[in-house]
Amino acid sequence: MIGSGMLHFEWPWVFFLLPLPWLFRKLMSPVENARDAALWVPFLDDFKSLSGKQESEQTDRRKRWLAALAWLFLILAAARPQWVGEAVEIPVSGRDLMMAVDLSLSMEQEDFQLNGRLINRLQASKVVAGEFIERRTGDRIGLILFGERAYLQAPLTFDRKTVRTLLDESALGLAGRSTAIGDAIGLAVKRLRERESKDETINKVLILLTDGANTAGVIEPLQAADLAAHEGLKIYTIGIGADEMLVRSLFGTRRINPSADLDEKTLKAIAEKTGGKYFRARDTKELMEIYALLDELEPVEHDPQQFRPQKALFHWPAGLALLLAGVVCLL
C-alpha cells in the first residue's frame, strides 16, 4: 500500500451554487399585497391570520435553518463525494498466457488418481491447471477449449478467478468428439495477435494440453506451429495419459496402453518449432510437476500499475437532505 485515503469531490464546482437561495432572497423583490387586484389569490398567511394561529419568529428561524441545512446537504450530494482509498500496486508481468485444454471424449479415461480415488483426465487437468491459474499473478490469462472445433472460452484477462471458474465448468464433449489441435493453436495466434500493435514487448505463451492426435479441424498442427513461431508465440505442449492400465474382463485381467493414440511426435515438433518444450504427464504427480516447471517462466518485467479504489458517498448527504426537507414540510 502506498499513500493514504482521502475525501474527493468529483464535481467541486457545484459548491458555487451554495449562496443561490440567499441571492434569490436578496435580489428578488417581495410580492406586493394584491388585495386590491381584480383577481386576488389568498396565501397561507391569510388563512393563518383568519384562524388566529401565527407562527412564532422562533419557529420561522428554525425552519430557515433546517432548509439551509437541507440545501447544504443537497449541494454536497451533487458534488459527488467519493472516498479514495490507498494506492494499490498491481503486479504486471508483461506476459499473455493462453491455455488450450482438450475436451474430446478420450479425456474421459479414468487413469489418474487424486486423494486415493480414480478420476478422469479432464478432472485431473481442472484441479492442477486451476491451481496453476491461481498462481499466475500479473499474467493476462485466456482459455481455449477444443475438441472437434476450438472455442475461446475466456479472453485475455487479469481476472484469474473467472478463468478458473470457466475451466471448472467445462464438460467432456462440449466442443465435439474429435481433436482439432491445429485449430486450437490457430485461434490462440489470432487472439494474441490482437495485442501485438499495443505492446511489442509482451511475452506470448500457449500451454496446450491434449491426450490424442489431430483428427479434426481445418489447420494442420505443424502449419499452425509455423504460424505461431512467426508471430513469436512460444508453445508448451503437454501429453496427458497413463502408459499402462489394468483392465478386467471375462477372460481375466490384462494390461493396455490407454495413451496409444497420443501423437507425441507432433507435440514435440510443435514445441521445438516455437521454442517451447514438450512434457509428458502419466499421472497427477507428473502433471503437478509440469505446471510447477511452467511457473518458472521468467516474465518480461513492466513497471507496476497503480490504482486507487473509490467508494461513492453521495447517498448519505442526499438522504439527510431528503429527511430535513420532510421535517420542514411537516413544520
Smallest CA-to-CA distance from 194 within 159, 139, 153, 155 is with 155
SS3 256: strand
Q: Which pLDDT score, from 0 to 100, does residue 201 have?
A: 61
Joined grid coordinates for residue 299? 516474465
Interior CA angle at 275 toward 274 and 278, to 5°?
90
CB 82 within 8 A of CB 76: no
Domains and CATH numbers, the chain: 6-31+42-85+308-330 (no CATH), 91-306 (3.40.50.410)
Interior CA angle at 271 toward 132 and 239, to 5°?
60
Q: Measured between alpha carbons, how far is residue 4 from residues 87, 218, 305 in Å?
A: 7, 55, 17
Q: Which pLDDT score, from 0 to 100, does residue 1 have?
A: 41
Interior CA angle at 95 toward 92 and 100, to 5°?
130
Q: Where are the alpha helices (DSSP H) in the chain?
A: 20-27, 44-51, 57-78, 121-135, 160-168, 181-193, 221-230, 264-274, 284-294, 315-330
Interior CA angle at 222 toward 217 and 224, to 5°?
60
Backbone angles phi, psi at 167, to 5 degrees: -65, -45
Instruction: Please tell me the distance from the alpha carbon of residue 207 to that of residue 281, in angstroms, as a whole number.
Output: 13
Residue 48 identity (one-letter amino acid): K
CB 153 within 8 A of CB 194: no
Residues of the chain with pLDDT under 50: 1-2, 34, 47, 50-53, 197, 300
Give just the sign of the alpha carbon dihedral 44, 46, 52, 57.
positive
Q: Does the predicted TM-score (pTM) go above 0.75? A: no
CB 235 within 8 A of CB 189: no
pLDDT in tens, 2-59: 456 688 888 889 888 888 888 887 787 665 554 555 555 555 555 455 444 455 667 7
Joined grid coordinates for residue 10? 468529483
pLDDT in tens, 29-44: 665 554 555 555 555 5
